[in-house]
Amino acid sequence: MGNCLSSQAADDLSLLNDSDGASLPGEPPPPYQEHVQVPVYHPTPSQTRLATQLTEEEQIRIAQRIGLIQHLPKGIFDPGTEPSEKKVKECVICMLDFVYGDPIRFLPCMHIYHVDCIDDWLMRSFTCPSCMEPVDAALLSSYETN
């Protein structure tokens, strides 16, 4: 017949208590350690600070910058059917060739970059990496009425 006595190893609760990092019997379990990654921002191109270390003014400036970046048009890279010498073939920030379907962002000066590359760049410097045109001036002038 079988063993009618339960073994300690077959007990689910005893297996949990035997695991690594468990506390002694009668003590509460160790606290859950959640690793939250705090974003890093660049208040100026030469400074790097955690979001929790920014002043209120810096947080407002960064929020405005993020808002302006989100107004820049995005698209999907499509090289077209006929190869052209003038067609941009690589992102000058990461130096990788554009591949069909890559998400790209257009700057007002009509230069294009990978979305992640240019968004990171614009968080540090609000100028086009190719022609050094100030992006915010061109973007803000597009909102002015004539």
Model pTM score: 0.60
pLDDT at residue 145 in the model: 44
Structure tokens at 55: 């002043």
Interval 20-59: pLDDT, tens: 555 566 666 666 656 667 677 766 666 667 777 778 888 8
* Domain ranges (residues) in the chain: 34-80+88-141
Of 102, 94, 95, nearest in space to 78 by CA: 102
Interval 107-131: pLDDT, tens: 999 999 999 999 989 988 889 999 9
Q: How far apart are CA 98 and CA 90, in angstroms?
A: 5
- pLDDT of 105 > 60? The answer is yes
CATH superfamily of 34-80+88-141: Zinc/RING finger domain, C3HC4 (zinc finger) (3.30.40.10)
